[in-house]
Each structure stands twice: as C-alpha cells, then as structure tokens.
Amino acid sequence: MARLGKVARGKSRWVGFCITPAIESREACHASISDYLFGISWKMYDCKPNKSSTLVIIRVPLEECDEAISKLNGSGTMQTLTKSGKIRLVRQRLGLN
C-alpha cells in the first residue's frame, strides 16, 4: 500500500514546553496535557522529566497551533518554550539531542 504524499498529510508544528512541577511517568504527562488540549488533535513524542520540571514535545496541526499554545500557557503549570516545523530544531532548542 502506498503512503500518503506530503501534501495529503497536512502541515503540522512541533511545540516544546515544560511542565512544573515534574511529572514522572509518560502516562501521567499525557493525561495532564489531555485535560488542557481537549478538542485539539495532538500527539506526544518526547517526555523527559528533570529534577524540577518535565520537558515535552507534541505535534499539532498548523491550523490548531495557536489555540494549543494559548491553552497550554493558560494552564498555570505549563509554559511553551519553542515551536517549529521540524522536530529536530525543537529537540536542539530544548537540549534533548
């Protein structure tokens, strides 16, 4: 079966943010993000806990990116740090290489 072409997949943005205080498990992190991003299609790729916070990278559709960022920043425990069209750049900026 042939893969979808690049145009058919649609554009997306990678959003890097931190959650304070730190969340230890990937499942708990996913549940916490789900509470705030209800109604937005997203997928978590990286979840790296530190001593005081957790660094997370998610992918959201381009059309929903601004809404997702405003919801994350409005949560009180989450703060967006960077966004890009390439996950490699977000990982570099967060130091997750």
- Residues, the chain, total? 97
Which pLDDT belongs to residue 5?
A: 80
Burial of 33 (0-12, 13-18, 19+ CB in 10 A): buried
d(CA 58, CA 72): 11
Which pLDDT belongs to residue 15?
A: 96
d(CA 61, CA 37): 12
pLDDT averaged over every residue in the chain: 91
Which pLDDT belongs to residue 61?
A: 95
d(CA 1, CA 20): 43
User: What pTM did the predictor assign?
Assistant: 0.89
Name the nearest CA neighbour of 26 among 3, 5, 6, 43.
43
Which pLDDT belongs to residue 29?
A: 92
Instruction: Check whether 70 has a pLDDT greater than 80.
Output: yes
d(CA 30, CA 39): 15
Q: Tell me the per-residue pLDDT of 14-57, one tens digit each, with 9 for 90 and over.
A: 999 999 888 888 999 999 999 999 999 999 999 999 889 999 99
